[in-house]
Structure 1
Amino acid sequence: MILQNTSSPLFVVIGSTGVQGRSVIKALQESTQPYRVRAITRDISSASAQALQQIGCETVKANVDDAESLQRAFEGASYAFLMTSSDYTDLSPDFDHEYSQGKNQFDAAVQAGVQVIVWAGVPSMKELYNGTGKVDNFEVKARITAYGRSLVFPSGKTPRIIDSQPGAYLTNYLISSPPRPSPNDPNTFLFSLALAPESELPVIDMEEDYGKYVVGPLEWALARPEEEARWEAVKTVHAAPAYITPAEMAQVFQEVSGKTVNYHTVPDDQLYAFLQKLAGNRAAGCVVEMHKGIREVGYYGGDRLAESNTHLPRPARTFREALEAKPDLVQKVFGGEEQ
């Protein structure tokens, strides 16, 4: 629950008006534990920031490019959620701008003495490939994770860092790459990804569920103060309820919509050409390499998801449950409206 009582621990949320931050605040609001919430945003006058104020959050203006503003943002915090967004306009080899944004956040949080930091990282495809392949926008987040874990407090102790790695966004398959109607049959749809039908995707309804993988592991560990191993158990969290294959997704789409949905694998060069026109070379290259990684080594390197899901206060929605909870969006995809 979100309170303004000064005796409640302060939880700072970076990116509070974005998808990840809003989900974290939603989970804090639904928690049975009391928190003061400081929502960090670049514009505290925006409608989304004002909506956070109405539910009891303190809104503070700060910018992840401005280290001084971040130092003020983290003052007095016990816990914090950190995140960065991929910047495909950054043409440096290693996404240096995003790295500096992540570094600024970790530096400020540790300088302020934040006890537990939850960070929205992703797995290193380079490590999963044993050094033979990589996805640039994954690697920069993995580098930020490593940097954060290298830091120490002035006392010599290390901060607790939970790397809560989001799975594939459900909205990718309802908004960005939804099933498309056949030009010859309005009741038949084609669902297309650059993945084999049997590839495993850890799909998550980010708006509804990601915050559970931030707040849940933190509260699970804090409830076990006598066990030092509790922090190792939540050191890396795979934020998704289950794996689902593209073929299974097509079947669920079909059953929920009542339309015929067929799956088709898109060749990498076709995906690259489409994304290059839409978002440029850098984004196209990263997305194609990500799909290659999922096909060859798995999004999480084949790690199972059961353990990460044991730390949640309430189960996250499966792909089917998430679709069934969004009838308006499903109707938009399958009801003949222009995409």
Structure 2
Amino acid sequence: MAKKILVTGATGNQGGSVVKLLLQYPEQYAVRALTRNPSSPTAKRLADKGVEVVKGDLTDPATLPTAFNGCWGAFVVTNFYDSNAAKAALEAGLQCFVWSTLPSSLKISKGEVCCEIYEGKHRVDDFIRGINLPAAFVYTGNFYENMILRGHVRKSEDGKGLEFRQPIIQANTRLHMLWVQRDLGVIVKAILDNWDTRKKDLVYQHFYAMDAIHTPTEVCSTIESVTGTPTKYVVLPNTGNESRDIMFTLYNRTGTYPGVQLPDPKVLDLGVELHGLEEFIREDLVPHLKASGDLQA
């Protein structure tokens, strides 16, 4: 019988990658997606693909039992850094809770930077362990897809080349990077696949879901090598969001995961094959730039 997996953020980049992959294995997994609006076009598209769509809100605990009850496992990613999902999962008796999280910014910066985006998720890690919810933690890196989704790579203002534009992040900052759509779902599925037989090795472990470390300068060099088009890096002054500004300041101080080498042996031990920057540029970024007119077809 297929194990039912609840996925939050199913219409987003992270949750969407998990849903897309699990749907390819209906004999193993049935997918349930949590959404505040089941009648939205995106929710209806999920339902058309075979996803069970349920109404709920992670900020409203009363709506969560319906979402979690009957599930074997869950993949949870959220911008609301509270413990509601973990509480609901424990009460529903979930066997495997995969939580997309981040380390303590205070710890990795030795007290220099406090980023609530990091601290909020880190506190949930401690809460999960404290209530003995069987869980695995997935650390995610900077997303290759942001070059497309956030418009970071585009034609230069003089029209003679390309620019890689990011707020605050300096050209030599070390970024641990992830191709979400290609690799995150595979890592999550590998954890789910191995949970029953290797739970003692996986529970409360942190898995670094990212393939390599690149500086923005290296990203520009790779784009230029693949496209044959001059590419320069441009630092923008801010994101317009204070919390994200603090997060990018943290990157400049420490790199995204100071001291962590990639790929993560724990991820490789799950049998995962990771994909890298050059492949992303060839398969996703170049077609996007050609379609948008930023790169000559």
1:328 aligned to 2:294?
Answer: no
- How do 1:310-329 and structure 2 match up within 5 A? 310-311=268-269, 313-326=271-284, 327-329=286-288
Q: Which residue of 2 aligns with 1:18?
A: 12
CA contact (8 A) 1:241 1:315 kept: no
Q: Structure 1 vs Structure 2: percent identity of aligned residues? A: 26
Structure 1 counterpart of 2:100, from 102, 120, 124? 120
Q: Equivalent residue for 2:68?
A: 74
Equivalents in 1 of 2:26, 2:226: separation in Å?
A: 33
Match of 1:198 in 2: 172
SS in 2 for 1:334: coil
1: distance between equivalents of 2:27 and 2:261?
Answer: 29
Structure 2 segments unaligned to the other structure (5+ residues): none
Equivalent-residue separation in structure 2 for 1:65 and 1:195 (angstroms): 31
Moved more, 23-32 or 245-254: 23-32
Give the equivalent residue in structure 1 for 2:186.
212
Tell me how far 1:308 sits from its aligned partner: 4.2
Q: Which position in structure 1 is the counterpart of 2:220?
A: 250
Look up the SS of the partner of 1:131 in the other structure: coil
Judged with a 3 Å threshold, the aligned counterparts in structure 2 of structure 1 residues 250 and 114 are, in CA distance, closer, same or farther, namely same
CA offset digits 1:16-61 (Å, max 9, x no partner): 2222221111221245861122121122222322332233222111
- More deviation in 246-255 or 167-176? 167-176
In the TM superposition, what whole-angstrom CA distance separates every residue of 1:72-105 from its partner, at most 9, and x where no partner exists? 11112111111212xxxxxxxxxxxx23xx3111
CA contact (8 A) 1:74 1:109 kept: yes
Distance 2:27 2:255 in 1: 35
Structure 2 counterpart SS, 1:84: coil
Which residue among 158, 162, 182 is the counterpart of 1:189? 162
Q: Name the counterpart of 2:51.
A: 57
Residues 149-228 of structure 1: matches in 2 within 5 Å?
Answer: 149-151=129-131, 158-184=132-158, 186-193=159-166, 194-224=168-198, 228=200
For 2:293 and 2:143, the matched residues in 1 are separated by: 16
Checking the alignment, whether the CA contact within 8 Å between 1:323 and 1:330 is kept in structure 2 is no
Distance 1:313 1:28 in 2: 17
Partner of 2:126: 146
Structure 1 CA distance for aligned equivalents of residues 27 and 105 of structure 2: 36
- Aligned with residue 38 of structure 2, among 31, 37, 44: 44
Calculate the aligned-residue CA RMSD, in Å: 2.4
Q: For residues 333 and 286 of structure 1, what CA distance do their matches in structure 2 show?
A: 33
CA contact (8 A) 1:174 1:333 kept: no
The question of whether the paired residues in 2 share the 8 Å contact of 1:204 and 1:240 is answered with yes
Does the 8 Å CA contact 1:212/1:312 hold for their aligned counterparts? no
Q: Which residue of structure 2 lines up, in the alignment, with residue 289 of structure 1? A: 246
Rounded to whole Å, the distance in 2 between the matches of 1:202 and 1:189 is 23
Bigger radius of gyration: 1
Segment drifting more, 167-176 vs 252-261: 167-176
| Aligned residue identity for 1:136 | E
How far apart, in 1, do the equivalents of 2:62 and 2:253 lie? 42
Question: Partner of 2:256 in structure 1?
Answer: 299
Shift of 1:291: 2.3
TM norm structure 1: 0.78
Between the aligned partners of 2:86 and 2:105, the Cα distance in structure 1 is 22
Q: Give distance in 1, aligned partners of 2:222 and 2:243.
A: 28
Which structure 1 residue ranges, 5 or more long, are not aligned?
A: 1-6, 86-97, 152-157, 277-282
TM-score computed with the length of structure 2 as normaliser: 0.88
Residue 300 of structure 1 aligns to which amino acid in structure 2? Y
What residue identity is the alignment partner of 1:271? P
